[in-house]
Structure 1
């Protein structure tokens, strides 16, 4: 299976075009107001049209209610929902049933104990995303530029497809893939010149580095 590369937190036509032209498999749009990458619905609609099925559209949400997800469906019509909050297994099941879209559940990782929730999520989710656990005082659960100990996934037994994120950039993505054996990588802050400001050259460099593995 070929590697999946996701560029997350895209918010301008220019940087989205760069990601598409560089061959990103997934493009992520953040709908979470505390994030510097948060998109207004109308901008999400505009960027969604630009994708033109050249990549999978991923809507990142954090403990969103049905009304919020309804609005995102109307504006973006995402191919996948990325659930980055404390959503329960039952909530994943509800979202899949209501919206008819695959769900990717983000699992924050700091210690081996954080993997205990995997069996439940894996019974419902279509894909797992392993991300670094945010500090207790953080205002958002991801996009913080910090990696986790990739060796925590050394003995992972998961039949579900999974991706890794958290502190990835062009210089360490090959090592992350070698250790985790993940089928995909997800980057946001690692291709930015400032929080929320994507850098076209960094996007291209990250995708090249990931593909080279």
Structure 2
């Protein structure tokens, strides 16, 4: 299918996952950060993992989690990739990549040009970079707040790692985001919800359609 890869993040129900698969998203994000309204309990993960198997790639989202917690999530959700959304440094990314044998994605929080440049440090130790908006100081969550950053900051990015775009994306602006940045992936969470943590089937379908029909 043409257009960027699409990740619908923070899916917690069979209905939301079914809508995500029907909309032909390429990846689903399972959030394993307990304070988030999108937190997926380990007990609920196996059923969703089985539903996704062979139909969509499963990405686990973690925030400064320890090895045992990540191991439990990898097992429960049969994860295809590990996304690091905290302050994990390159050494931590490399260690997790080696231990679990899974692709590691690193989220880079962006407010200015210097933040984009931080992606270079993950060359050779991560497999994918996801540029997201930097959250306000003191925010309870590292993402999922519907905040965007200046996408023009990515125009000059020529890093060696493939990368995607997150932060403030929604059905109404995703086409402009893809056109303006040339991103290989768009990642959305709150932008396809009717309330925090509640995915909306129509918004998921419209988001995926608009991302691919520029």
Instruction: Flag whether TM exceeds 0.5 (same fold).
Output: yes
What is the CA–CA distance in structure 1 between the aligned matches of 2:95 and 2:81, rounded to whole Å?
14
Q: Deviations over 1:53-87 (max 9, x none)?
A: 21110000001100101101110120010100000
What is the CA–CA distance in structure 2 between the aligned matches of 1:149 and 1:122, rounded to whole Å?
23
Moved over 6 A (4+): none
What is the CA–CA distance in structure 2 between the aligned matches of 1:22 and 1:116, rounded to whole Å?
33
What is the aligned length?
213
Which residue matches 1:126?
A: 127
Q: Secondary structure, in 3 states, of the residue corresponding to 1:105?
A: strand
- Unmatched tracts of structure 1, length 5 or more: none
What is the CA–CA distance in structure 1 between the aligned matches of 2:135 and 2:120, rounded to whole Å?
22
What is the CA–CA distance in structure 2 between the aligned matches of 1:139 and 1:29, rounded to whole Å?
18
- Map 1:51-130; keep pairs closer than 5 Å: 51-130=52-131
Which residue matches 1:176?
A: 177
What is the CA–CA distance in structure 1 between the aligned matches of 2:16 and 2:74, rounded to whole Å?
22
How does the TM-score come out when normalised to structure 2? Answer: 0.97
Q: CA deviation at 1:121?
A: 1.1
What is the CA–CA distance in structure 2 between the aligned matches of 1:127 and 1:166, rounded to whole Å?
16
* Residues 177 and 2 (structure 1), Cα distance of their counterparts in 2 relative to 1, 3 Å cut: closer
Which residue matches 2:151?
A: 150
* Residues 170 and 2 (structure 1), Cα distance of their counterparts in 2 relative to 1, 3 Å cut: closer
Which residue matches 1:206?
A: 207
Q: Which moved more, 1:101-110 or 1:113-122?
A: 113-122
What is the CA–CA distance in structure 1 between the aligned matches of 2:54 and 2:139, rounded to whole Å?
34
Which residue matches 1:161?
A: 162
Q: CA deviation at 1:122?
A: 2.5
How does the TM-score come out when normalised to structure 1? Answer: 0.97
Which residue matches 1:192?
A: 193
Give the superposed CA RMSD: 1.0
